Chains A and B, each alone.
Chain A
Amino acid sequence: MSAPTAFRRRYGASPLHLLLVLASFALAVYAGLRLFEGDTVGVALWFVGAALLHDLVLLPLYSLTDRAAQALFIGGSDDGRPAARVSVNHVRVPAFVSGVLLLVWWPLILEQVGHYTAATALPADGFLARWLLITAGLFAASAVVLIVRTRQRSRSRRQARNATERGRGRG
């Protein structure tokens, strides 16, 4: 890389960066003046809130939940070694899928839309039941995978033990 120019030293990036960012800011202000017309405070709250919703609300919530779930799965296995914590994924994956379904469709699932039936002639109930059944299905499917994996593991462990005993018998 060539020696940094005086501009880069002062600004911290290339002139192209400055030009593109200024162009984008000008466009954002042009559109923003129109966006903020009307309920300025409301729109500002929604915009900034949307920027922080995941980072400051959702992420702490799901990270703490995830750590709690991980804590459940820490511990020694039957052979005395610490158990592989990957088994937490049997809870984590279905909970994640169920969670994103709720995150997207919560207004319908929680029956928050009062005029839904009046507008669409469709029944407003049933979304909660469907989401609960999907969630049940996800955890049940995960349980089946867990059972299959546990059986496979114990079978391979048994086979390994038998092989060692046979080997010892020969020796």
Chain B
Amino acid sequence: MGESSSGQPPGGTPRHPHARASGNADGASEHGPAGRAATPGKSAAAEETSPGPVARLGARVKSAGSAGPPPGPARPEFWRSPLRGPWLTAVFGLVLLFGITVLFVTGLLSYAAYNPDLAAVNDQTPDKGWLGFYLFSWPTSPYWLYRLTQGVHVTLGVVLVPVLLAKLWSVIPKLFEWPPIRSVSHAVDRLSLLLLVGGAGFEFVTGILNVQLHYIFPGSFYTLHFYGAWVFIGAFVVHVTFRLPRALRALRRRLGEPAAGTEEAAGLVAPRPAAPTISRRGALAMVGLGSVALLVVTAGQSIGGWWRQTALLAPHGRDPGSGPNGFQVNKTATSVGIRPSDVGPAWRLTVRGPGRQVDLTYRQLLTMTQHEAALPIACVEGWSTTDQQWSGVRLTDLAALVGLGVRTPEVLVESVQRGGSFRSAVLRDNQVRDSRSLLALRVNGATLSPDHGYPARIIVPGAPGVHNTKWVTRLTFGEPA
């Protein structure tokens, strides 16, 4: 958007002379690169004070080296876009303040939805320590809860990408500001900004790659995305605490952006702006259009039904087939090594309770009382289906077979799946006791397809997709051995 790539020293008189008693980087340009160092302190709190010992030391270090910023991006004149300024940055910042807060909260909810404190098999980050301080029993009502929170998490994350980029674009002169370190607080601030920008980028990149199954990141997605969020959030809170007042002040200003070099300009306004080719509103509209475009080609995979076909670029924007089993699959039977013999006539469901065990054939399961539940599949990757009509045996009925008729405890569900994560999961007692929680044998009036977990799968209201274990072979009620 109109940068000078030349980086040449400005010739002649600056168009926006803003000689200030304290002097600044721009002052040096009038002396040329060989001019003497001016007092450091371009903006913010530091300039209201006389230079402290650290600043004096900094000045001495600088005058020992070269004076003023070297040619290139460290000079304010290098940045030519007339759009940059506190107002534009504040608008992007406030959108991100709202959006990232929602992302963080829905992310924490998603972590809680796995009930990681219940059992080791549920916990992808066993070293979490105090970072799981807020965990709670994930509810089964409303049954669409995870569908909503995770759909919002992923879709909003995708939609915010243009805003994040625009925000970074709007503050680029600050990356190269001169001197690089002005005071102790400035050094600390910049380190905090590394955590802020690195953390934000890390979270967006790992999340966006993971929903496309592109596992090129260095480790388990759960570990990286969860701990990365906690590395990020402290810097985010610090940033908001100290920048929000300035952002609100900038938005209240009615007379356009402040002059370059002033305190309100915060080092963002170009001292030698190029002729504008787009208005600030136009730039905002362009960024907004990018977000809307991403929303349009993505959201349908979470809404499902007719809307799925609108998700033109999203990973789950098409249906894998038609008919009763023609809805979204997370992992197919072949991809996790399910062999026909695993789920053939020799297949048995083992139900274990304290001191008791029952083995059931597929036919025996079908003779038990069948119940129905209309529930969606909602994946951590953000996609979900509309409600599917499941039918099968209630988990409480299976618990009763091993003498656990009332106050059914938690259950360890194990799949015949040989490899891959989530081949077993523990469901909490509130999940087991919900009358809609089934060991499903049929869906939408048909037998389960191999990809949907034939011969039997779990379906629990509100649970993340991977806890609706497919190809179930064993249920162990009560404390796992």
Q: A residues near B, CB below 8 A?
A: 1, 4, 8-14, 17-18, 20-21, 23-28, 30-32, 34-35, 37-39, 42-43, 45-51, 53-55, 58-59, 63-64, 66-67, 70, 85-86, 88-89, 92-93, 96-97, 100-101, 103-105, 107-109, 112-113, 115-116, 118-123, 126-127, 130-131, 134
Across the interface, which residues of B come within 8 angstroms of A116, CB to CB?
212-213, 315
The CA of A123 and the CA of B318, in the complex, are separated in Å by: 9
Tell whether B11 is near chain A: CB-to-CB under 8 Å: no
Closest Cβ neighbor of B195 among chain A residues:
A28
Whether B231 pairs with A28 at a CB distance below 8 angstroms is yes
Q: Interface with A: B289-297, B394-402, B423-431, which one?
A: B289-297
| CB proximity of A15 to chain B, nearest CB, Å | 10
| B contact residues, total (Cβ < 8 Å) | 94
Q: Which listed segment binds A: B12-20, B124-132, B364-372, B468-476?
A: B124-132
Contact B321 A39 (CB under 8 A): no
Q: Closest chain A residue to B290 by CB distance?
A: A100
Interface SS of B by simple majority: helix
The answer to whether residues A20 and B52 also contact, given A27-B230, A54-B168 and a CB cut-off of 8 A, is: no
Report whether over half of chain A's contact residues are helix, strand or loop; otherwise say mixed.
helix
Closest 6 CB pairs of A and B: A50-B201, A42-B218, A12-B183, A24-B234, A51-B198, A12-B185
Contact, CB under 8 Å: B168 / A93: no
Task: State whether the Cβ of B202 lies closer than 8 Å to any Cβ in chain A.
Answer: yes
Q: Tell me, rounded to whole Å, the shortest Cβ–Cβ distance linking B188 to chain A.
A: 5
Contact of B54 with A109 in the complex, beta carbons under 8 Å = no
- Residues in A whose Cβ lies below 8 Å from that of B223: 34-35, 37-38
When the two chains form their complex, are residues A43 and B224 in contact, meaning their CB atoms are under 8 A apart? Answer: yes
Q: Whose C-beta in chain B lies nearest to the C-beta of A63?
A: B3
Which of B54, B169, B172, B212 contacts A105, CB < 8 Å?
Answer: B212
Whether the pair A120, B198 counts as a contact (CB closer than 8 A) is no
A31 → chain B, closest Cβ, in Å?
3
Name the contact of B185 in the complex, choosing from A11, A31, A104, A130 (C-beta under 8 A).
A11
Q: Collect the chain A residues with CB atoms within 8 Å of residue B316's CB.
A: 120, 122
Which residues of chain B from 274 to 289 have any CB-CB distance to chain A below 8 Å in the complex? 275, 277-278, 282, 286, 289
Q: In the complex, are the beta carbons of B202 and A47 less than 8 A apart?
A: yes
Flag if B219 contacts A93 (CB, 8 Å).
no
Q: In the bound complex, what is the Cα–Cα distance between A152 and B341 (angstroms)?
A: 72
Q: Which residue of A lies closest to B208 (CB)?
A: A104
Shortest beta-carbon distance, B286 to chain A, in Å? Answer: 5
The interface residues of chain A lying within 8 Å CB-to-CB of B313 are 101, 104-105, 108-109, 127, 130-131, 134
Q: In the complex, how many angstroms separate the beta carbon of A105 from the nearest chain B beta carbon?
A: 4
Task: Report the minimum CB–CB distance from B127 to chain A (whole Å).
Answer: 5
